Every structure is written in C-alpha cells, then in structure tokens.
Structure 1
C-alpha cells in the first residue's frame, strides 16, 4: 500500500508483515472479548479494566510500529507521491466509512478519530521523517516525556471540540495523535538501524500470519461485523 509500485515486493519485509499479522490476531481476540461483554456474556469492561487496557496498548503499538517501519521501507530511497496519495486516500475513505457507519450504530459514541483515521495522517506525516531517523527518535522521546509528565496537554482543545464541534465525549475507538505518533517515529528509527530484533523463519504458520498482515486493512473492516453477526445468531439460537 505504501511502497513504490516498481519496488513493492523488494521493499516488503516478512517480519513486519508478521508483526502486523500478529497485531491483527490480537485485535480479533480483543474484539471477541469486547463482544462477549457487549452481549452480556461477561462481566468485565474492556475500556476500564487494566489488563484489557494494557492489551489494547500492545495491539496499537504493534500496528503503529509497523506503520513507521513500512513507511521507511517504502520511501527512504524516494517518495512516490502518486503511490502515497493513493494509499492515504484509501485510508481516508475507509476512515470516513467507519465514522459514518459507527454514527448509525453508536450515535453517542461514534468513531471520530480511530486507528484508521490516525494511520491516514501518520502515514502522510511519516514520510517527512524517513530520511531523518535519528531526529525521529529524538522527537518521539520528546513526545513521550512531555506526555508522561503532562507538560503538554490537549485536554482544553478536546473539551472545546466536544462543546463546539459536537464530537462525543466517549467513543468506541480513539487513538490520540499525541502521544501515539511517537510509536510511528520509533518504527522509522528501528527499521533504519536494523534494530527490529527478531528474525522469523518462513513456514506454513508464519506465512499465514504474514498473509494476515498483508491484508490487514480488509480484515480490520470485516472481522467485527462477522463476529457481531455470529454473536447475534448464537443469541437468537439460545433465546
């Protein structure tokens, strides 16, 4: 999606596809757990309970590291603006679809800036840093430190947006640009310095996981409707 068309296969990285594929698997597990709770078959809260919040951080971190790494692989030699525009446009359309559909499904908690919205913007901005990997790490550390110590906060802007723009106070999916963009920048740094510290042997299992990673956007779009339909069928069968 984000590689120049004439070097797409050359720039693909098997380990990055596996990382993205593992993140997809974990995301499906997370949403399966979320649906169990939503249908009243479990008593936990995936948005509050610490173990589920940590689980979500792991999943989002995997996806965003892969964004930074893939951006570096695709654009460190040259920036194919046509390919970049096509990739970002696709993500923007998907993000718009998610916002509209979630508004009808969850009118009080619809998705106004979920992970696809984030990746669309992060991909566009990340190409500015692929030739500056050390600066990427420095900016990432600044973001993380200022966020952790709350030296910079966007809470007033968020509250203003709730009151004046009409975004919901709660949403079913939110990936804040600050501090999450730091993970994308770290992915650029890791890939440039070859610090992505594992090598995956190709076999039947890892090839399937990598396949999931290559088709992560499509799987992201269809997995939850499938899960929700299955839960609904089971609920109707047990009624």
Structure 2
C-alpha cells in the first residue's frame, strides 16, 4: 500500500494528449450508443442494447476505453505524490454526478434505476487505483487474476448481488451496471501502461484537438448528453 509519507500536496501533473483523445473517443462512442438506445425508446428502431451481442461488445469497448483512461489519468495525477485536495475534489464531483444519475434514473426508470453505473464505478476506482501506483507487477497480477477469475466464473458477484436485491431493494435489472470485477482490471492496466511508458505520443492536429477537447470535458458531456438527446427526440415528436 502507498506509504503515508508519499501523500502530500504535489504540483499539477502534465496532461497526455493520448489520454484525452482516448477519453474523447469513448465519449463519441458512448453518444452513438445512447443515441441508438434512444431510437428504441422513441420507437424509431428496435435495438436491444442489453442483450444483443454486437451492442454488448460495443458497450464493453466503450467502458474499456473509459477505464483505461481512468488508470492512465490516475498515474499522471498521483504517481509523483497524492494531492489530497485535488483527489477529494475529483471524488466529490464524481460522487455528486453519480447521485444525480441515480436520482434521475429512479424517476425515469423506477424498476431499473442506476445504482452502480460507470460514474459510480469511477468514483470508487479512482482512490483504489492510487494504492497500486508504482506497483506494476502486482497490478498486472491482480488484473490478470480478475479477468481470468471472471471469465472462468471464479470471482462471481452473484451471491453478493442476490443478497443486495433481496435485502437492499436494488432492482434485479438496471439500465447501467459496471461491477468491480472484472472492470477494475482495466483501471490497473491503465496505470501499468503509463508506468512503462507504452503510450504512443500524439501530436495535436485539427482532428485530435477536437477529440481531445471532448475528452477534457468528458464528465460534463456525460451529464448533459442524454438530456439533450431526449430533448431533441421530444422536439421531433412535437413537430410531427
């Protein structure tokens, strides 16, 4: 675990164009995914984004990009020392957004509300990832064990999930769920990639600059994109 002596107020870290672009790509793909979902909600299409294999793979790609970026960003921000105020500020913003998502989803989908979606996961994964910075071998080992255990059904969350459904009143089916296993493995691998400097250098051009801009404002875009999409669909319905 990270020593307390390493926890101090550190200087602002340098941004990575690659990480911003990766997060920006994830945002673009996410908007496409939710646009397809909304097409079904408003009866313009009949996509089943929860069960159709192609949509499940597409969602897994989006989540993987986001979580790799979380691990990479964690390394950039905290590998040289943990800025407590910055960490608490980032965690607080994520927590507030997560609570807003849960609250709004409860009113929209009371039987399928979001209790642990991607933002909830990132809020939890961020402080946990700091414990593994500077420990790439341990991170790779845990990540591999998580992935192998998940796909071999050794690390099933079924018992905990069933208990939560019965005793905590969470819905059995939710519109967004990102379980700690195996997804934390992607965060760990993101820190490893940055530790060994395996990230290619990207230069800013007209395309990468625009994508990186989206990546730098990914949380805000995540919050507002669905209300804007819904407003657009409602406007189309009114103008029919």
Query: Shorter-normalised TM-score: what interval?
Result: over 0.9
- 2: CA distance, partners of 1:87 / 1:79: 12
The residue aligned with 1:18 is 21
Alignment correspondent of 1:231: 233
5+ unaligned residues in a row in structure 2: which ranges? 1-7
Query: 1:206 aligns to what?
Result: 208
TM-score normalized with structure 1 length:
0.94
Does the residue aligned with 1:109 lie in a helix, a strand or coil?
coil
| Post-superposition offset of 1:6 | 6.4
Corresponding residue for residue 80 of structure 2 = 77
Does 1:110 pair with 2:96?
no
Q: How does 1:155-234 map to 2 (within 5 A)?
A: 155-196=158-199, 198-234=200-236
Q: Deviations over 1:166-200 (max 9, x none)?
A: 0001111111111100000000001110122x332
Give the aligned partner of residue 96 of structure 1: 99
3-state SS of 1:11 partner:
coil
Provide runs of 4+ in structure 1 moved above 4 Å.
none
Q: Which runs of 5+ in 1 are unaligned?
A: none
Which deviations, in whole Å up to 9, do the C-alpha atoms of 1:137-194 show, x marking residues without a partner? 1110011111111112110110111111000011111111111000000000011101
Q: 1:88-124 CA deviation, whole Å, 9 max, x = no partner?
A: 1111111111111110111000000000000000001
Q: How many residues align?
A: 233
Deviations 1:22-61 (A, max 9, x none): 1000100111111011111112211111111100001000
CA contact (8 A) 2:72 2:193 kept: yes
